[in-house]
């Protein structure tokens, strides 16, 4: 058995951005480029709603989510829009093995993630407001009022800890362009 390793988060890429910015599309596109020898993994996210086929997530009931959080099974977890989101503790094992790990996080939770993993690289996916609005409407999950709230929230500032490395990726245009930028960042 290997000795315990201190996890500082180097090798951890914390992807975040407004709903509809294309984070899941970016993750799928990057994942499709990975070869058998690429030492990069995309962590699945636990969520308390039905999992969408387009995202790397596992659906849990609210009770099961709370149970796992209470048992210490989640490395990161937060609430947003009335739902629970979490990243499993398995990412620490992957990081300890020298793998690069990508997680789909939350802008509001970034300070907590940096407190646990001080050397993570925050990756903010941004998109032009008109593109974001069109994507949210196309998804068909929300009312116009909810979309207006999301658009307002998308342009709001968020807290970035002083020591945190932040990289911005514009995903307003062709997915291949933003995927190439992301792939260069993670080294694939």
Annotated binding site for ATP: 17-24
Conformation bin of residue 127: beta by default, left when phi > 0, alpha when psi is -120 to 50: beta
How far is CA 3 from each of CA 54, 89, 93, 96, 97, rounded to the nearest angstrom?
37, 17, 12, 10, 12
* Binding-site residues from annotation: 17-24
| Helix-, strand-, coil-residue percentages of the chain, each rounded to 5 | 35, 25, 40
Q: Give the whole-angstrom CA distance, residue 181 versus residue 50.
A: 30
Which DSSP symbol is given to 26? H
> Which two tokens mark 64?
């099961």
Q: Give the whole-angstrom CA distance, residue 99 versus residue 91.
A: 9
Q: Quick one: CA dihedral 100, 104, 106, 107, positive or negative?
A: positive
Conformation bin of residue 114: beta by default, left when phi > 0, alpha when psi is -120 to 50: alpha
């Amino acid at each position: 058995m290997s000795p315990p390793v201190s996890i500082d988060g180097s090798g951890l890429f914390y992807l975040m951005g407004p709903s509809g910015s294309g984070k899941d599309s970016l993750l799928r596109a990057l994942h499709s480029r990975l070869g058998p020898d690429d030492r990069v993994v995309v962590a699945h996210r636990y969520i308390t709603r039905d999992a969408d086929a387009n995202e790397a997530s596992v659906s849990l009931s609210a009770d099961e989510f709370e149970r796992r959080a209470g048992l210490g099974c989640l490395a990161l977890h937060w609430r947003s829009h009335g739902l629970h989101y979490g990243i499993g503790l398995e990412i620490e094992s992957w990081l300890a093995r020298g793998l690069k790990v990508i997680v789909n996080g939350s802008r509001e939770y970034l300070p907590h993630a940096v407190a646990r993993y001080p050397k993570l690289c925050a990756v903010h996916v941004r998109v032009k407001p008109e593109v974001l609005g069109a994507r949210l409407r196309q998804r068909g999950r929300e009312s116009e009022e909810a979309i207006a709230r999301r658009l307002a929230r998308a342009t709001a500032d968020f807290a970035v800890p002083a020591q945190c490395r932040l990289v911005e990726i514009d995903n307003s245009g062709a997915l291949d362009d933003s995927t190439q930028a992301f792939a260069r960042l993670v080294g694939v």
